[in-house]
Amino acid sequence: LTDSLVPALGSNNLQCIEIDPRSVELLGEKHPSLRVSHLDVLQADYPSIADEEGGPLSIIGNLPYYITSQILFALADASHTNAVRSATVTMQWEVGKRIVAPTRCKDYGILSVVFQLYADCKIHFKIPPTVFYPQPKVDSALIGLHFLGP
Annotated binding site: 1, 18, 40, 62
CB atoms inside a 10 Å sphere around CB 46: 20
Name the H helices within 19-132: 21-30, 46-53, 68-79, 93-100, 110-118
123 sits in which H/E element: strand 119-127
8 Å CB contact between 119 and 148: yes
Task: Mark the binding-site residues for S-adenosyl-L-methionine, compressed into ranges.
Answer: 1, 18, 40, 62
Phi, psi of 63 (to 5 degrees): -85, 135
Alpha-carbon distance 54 to 46, whole Å?
A: 12
CB count, 10 Å around CB of 11? 18
CB 143 within 8 A of CB 99: yes
